[in-house]
Amino acid sequence: MNDVAQAVRRALEEDIGTGDVTSQACVPADRRATGLFLARQHLVLAGTEVLPHMYDQLHLRKHDGDEVRDGETIAEVRGQARRLLECERTALNFLQRLSGVATLARAFVEQVKGTRCKVLDTRKTTPGLRMLEKNAAAAGGVTNHRKGLYDAILIKNNHIAAAGGISRALKNARAASQLSIEIEVRTRAELREALDFGATSLLLDNLSPQEAADWIREIAGRATVEISGGITLQNVRAYAETGANFVSSGAITHSAPAVDISFRLELL
């Protein structure tokens, strides 16, 4: 079972438990209905990949990455009325949350338009929902960073401290793996040590745009540069204009507000 199917199964089990007692009490078992998912604000859609795991009869009117206007229909589902009702809140929770991520991601991408800088997401995701949230970020136009601790080496300050310094951390990483290596530098001395030791991908964390631009001038193209730490919609353009290759923001996944989507049920 893939990540999406597992997430949907857990979410439905959490909500339905031993049964939707309200629907069972009120709605005849043989009653059939159609349900419409409707946008109640302008949004960028994400999360439709969960819907086939809930509904047998599904017609998508919009797809992940689409801009949807207030009042437009996102999807139509059909089936037993009880089933539509018991899945309603779980489906909306996924769509509202993931479309919120996509909508915020699109706003970040729009802010850096015209620069050569790409926006990255991070691992600051909801436990158990990482791939769904990263897919949502990608639907908004953001570039996915590493999926986890297993697919790229990112040496941060605590790794450097545990390894015994910049050079030692880089040497150990190169000897142990063929994966790409990025290393965080926090001082000019660390920056110079990393460059002298042949680092080709640098992470600059918690610098002002002016400081970052100064460091990037010293790097002079010898390594690709990612900037992180306190990146917001209000300042991402300033960081993108420093000459950085990438800016990353955890806010895209950890602080995206849910968007407004409703579900309207109609009897067949």
CA distance 260 to 95: 9
> Do residues 219 and 225 touch, judged by C-beta distance below 8 A?
yes
Let me know: does 242 contact 266? Beta carbons within 8 Å.
no
Taking CA 176 as the corner, what is the angle to CA 171 and CA 177, rounded to the nearest 5 degrees? Answer: 105
Q: Which of 254, 249, 212 is nearest to 234 (CA)?
A: 249
At 4, which amino acid appears?
V
- Cβ(98)–Cβ(134) under 8 Å? no
Identify the DSSP state of 212.
H
**Mind telling me the catalytic residues?**
89, 124, 156, 184, 205
Residues in the chain: 268
